[in-house]
Chain A
Amino acid sequence: MSIAIDIRNVSVTLKGKEILKNINFSLEEGKFLGIVGPNGGGKTTLMKIILGLIPPTSGSVAVFGSPPEALLHGNGIFGYLPQHQNIDPNFPSTALGIVLMGRFRKAGFLRWPGKRDREIALECMSMMGIEGVRDMQYSQLSGGQQQRVSIARTLAGEPKILILDEPSTGIDVVGQEDFYHLLKGLQRKMHLTILMVSHDIGTVTTYVDEISCLNINLYYHGNPLGALTDKVTTSLYGKNFDLLMHTDVCDKCERLRP
């Protein structure tokens, strides 16, 4: 297994404020990593550093051995899902139109996606279970459907690494479980390395291979079960914190039971 992401002594200071402090970890190819922590804990900043959108103040990042800024200009190995609230819910496009945007880079300058791109886009839509809404307006879809359309768009670019920023917002709790199952399936089927930012430590631990607990410092990195100690959760969320564990027992069945 090769190392997909390698982070060495990364610190970020913005306007005299410490955002990230001496972060070290690496992630093997094909693994599913959850980055959890409170708002303002530096999750999004770390993600942007890995994507090459901002440089670290000190330290280094390597993605498959290259600095991430260099990868921006290449063929593209990242599939990036921005936070749901940063996408205009009324963007004028059909669902298929959104997914086809994921093929723009592969189509190249001055060229529009062709027949083959369309086939790939539809394949990605069927993987996400949304081929039925392909010709519907994006604005008419539910939050969960919009999120699936967005993931289909990132998949259409044939990425090696999927980076998802709070992908479960806008999806109801029951839908969230299905959604994480779907991601888990994608990881196996397409040998994707997945990096998912979430504030929800309870749900995430059930699905990821590794977890990073981030609150300026990296308090924990490794097996998800090891993250659920009092010491780690207190450094992330403080003392008054209730942990809601999600297990393999189906929520829906439990609720329907008389």
Chain B
Amino acid sequence: MMPEVFGSPFMQKAFLAGILVSILTGLISVFIVLRKMSFIGAGISHAAFGGIAIGFFTGMNPLVTAILYSILVAIGIESTGRKGKISEDASIGIFYSVSMALGIALLSLSKSYNVDLFGYLFGNILAISRTDILLTVITFVVVSGFILMFLKELFLSTYNEELAKVDGVPVVLLNTFFLIALAVSIVISIRIVGIILVSALLVIPGATARLFAKGLISMLVLSCLTGVASVIFGLLISYQYDIAPGACIVLVSALIFFFSVAAKKKR
């Protein structure tokens, strides 16, 4: 089975994109878990549906419109939360349901209803195009570069925001960049596991890593390893048994998580 899997070009592309995305979400997941931002992650991924529909409606690349739209939503959620008139969870709830409604409305208006809607909702890693790969590589380089460059500052502001401000970290700017990085990573991950399942990649690797991590660096490494292992085994199982790859990846990561919890309890 093995040589055959790695021999086919579409599986090679799937592995390449999958591994890059899992490292990316592995890094981001650590901060999502420690900063308790998982609902924002779920909100942005659902809101991205509106952005994808805008792409279909206008005839532009849906990933590009989704990235731009998700960044706007992420900043919108953050700034309404900061102003404090509406609570952040209410603001997330409004943004994502309205965005999905907008998406459905635009798709019904679009003449081409034969779009791969299912692929966006549940992921279609096997149909990844060259453009998708290119966008994934660019996102990987830019976002992981940002996180590694500002790792110290991100740690400090995750530990305590005000303390970070007193220590000279431009916290508001850093948070905005983090949200942009989050939004872009989510949209890129949608190609792999889909809108509905992307939350799993944002939460499970970080939550698993947290069980064993002795420090933040080891948490980052463990989180990425969990993500990469989920993608590799998920894809292999998907190929072997002909099950949807996005679902396989998420189920494998969930298995890793549950075994980790059990192993932790035993110690």
Instruction: Give A contacts to B, CB under 8 Å.
Output: 48, 51-53, 72-74, 76, 78, 80, 82, 86-88, 91-94, 97-98, 101, 104-105, 107, 110, 112, 137, 157
| B215 close to A93 (CB less than 8 A) | yes
What band does the interface of chain B fall in when counting residues whose beta carbon is under 8 Å from A? 20 to 34
B166–A101 CB distance below 8 A? no
The interface residues of chain A lying within 8 Å CB-to-CB of B155 are 101, 104
A93 to B215, CA, bound (A): 4
Assuming the contacts A72-B168, A101-B156, asked whether A80 and B215 have C-beta atoms less than 8 A apart, the reply is no
- Chain A: which residue is nearest B155 at the CB level? A101
- Contact at A92–B163, with CB atoms within 8 Å? no
A78's nearest neighbour on chain B, judged by CB, is B166
Check A104–B167 contact: CB distance below 8 A.
Answer: yes
Interface residues of B (CB under 8 A from A): 34, 149, 152-153, 155-156, 159-160, 162-163, 165-168, 210, 213-216, 218-219
Asked if residues A93 and B216 are in contact (CB atoms below 8 Å), the reply is: yes
Asked if A88 contacts B162 (CB within 8 A), the reply is no
Pairwise interchain contact B166-A73, C-beta atoms closer than 8 A = no
A88 contact set on B, CB distance < 8 A:
34, 159
Instruction: List 19 A-B residue pairs with CB atoms under 8 Å apart, sorted by A's residue number.
Output: A51-B165, A53-B162, A72-B166, A72-B168, A76-B167, A82-B160, A82-B162, A86-B160, A91-B34, A92-B214, A92-B215, A92-B216, A93-B215, A94-B214, A97-B215, A98-B159, A104-B155, A104-B167, A112-B152
A80 CB contact (under 8 Å) in B152, B162, B218: B162
Determine the chain A residues whose CB is within 8 A of the CB of B218 once the complex forms.
92
Report chain A residues within 8 Å CB of B34: 88, 91-92
Least distance between B171 CB and chain A CB atoms (Å) = 10
Q: Shortest Cβ distance from B127 into chain A, in angstroms?
A: 38
Contacts of B152 in A (CB 8 A): 104, 107, 112
In the complex, chain B residues whose CB is within 8 Å of the CB of A73? 168
Residues in A whose Cβ lies below 8 Å from that of B168: 72-74, 76, 105
